[in-house]
Structure 1
């Protein structure tokens, strides 16, 4: 069952993130305080999927008033290929439409073969007409990848 993520879900969502091979966690942004800030700024937009009494999927979803972005889209490896990812994405789409947001973006690591196949199957367009830039404002916000 897909529902909106709340801060009560943080520990279970964090455990899910840590269980996924190759998943990148940011030391500041993905901390309890970082996720609480994100959820408060974007209430009702992020999603979790609960199966067998546990969280098996999660998406962080937010927008800036013009464009939305999906972050940390994941499904527990043993629950993949059951439509959970698609249901969560559709939940986020509907929540964003209520906010009158018309476009959604995301970043997927090139090495994330499972994720990239999923987004292509969902009809997302891989852009080759622009460059992606970022600039780090907090050097302590490190990305650590699960092994």
Structure 2
């Protein structure tokens, strides 16, 4: 398995993987332009896994200078149960820590039971003391 920073050249393969991964929802912000902007703003914090030259895993990481955020962790069904997801998370968190980030959040779809089990197994804890609110600036239902 080869792990390396994600680049915009990985976009098509990453989107194909995300579309096949239960629990990953794509939005307008996941356009090529949106992902390119994210990767440029957070260089070296998103990671891909490759097997035999094929992208089989992704995680996107970023921060606001205060807290880290991870999203789009996905592993191809053909490569699950090989510790790839755990290794992607570790590499992403190590990169965030090098940036001085000590606490990282993620958002998980409420019905993603597999995701809940995975993240809990890695030591992540659900928050019950905060609520997430969103505001859509452009009015798009898929923003």
TM range (shorter): over 0.9
CA RMSD of aligned residues (A): 1.3
Q: Distance in 2 between matches of 1:8 and 1:15?
A: 13
Q: Distance in 2 between matches of 1:88 and 1:74?
A: 9
Q: Specify the alignment match of 1:19 in structure 2.
A: 20
TM-score by length of 1: 0.91
Deviation at 1:39, TM superposition (A): 0.4
Greater relative CO, 1 or 2 (CA 8 Å, sep 6+)? 1
TM-score by length of 2: 0.94
Q: Specify the alignment match of 1:7 in structure 2.
A: 8
Q: Specify the alignment match of 1:91 in structure 2.
A: 91
Task: Write the mapping of 1:105-144 to structure 2, written as runs, cut at 5 A.
Answer: 105-140=105-140, 142=142
Q: Secondary structure at the match of 1:24?
A: coil
Q: Does 1:81 align with 2:81?
A: yes
Q: Distance in 1 between matches of 2:10 and 2:112?
A: 25
Contact 2:49/2:84 (CA < 8 Å) preserved in 1?
Answer: yes
* Structure 2 CA distance for partners of 1:99 and 1:8, relative to 1, 3 Å: same
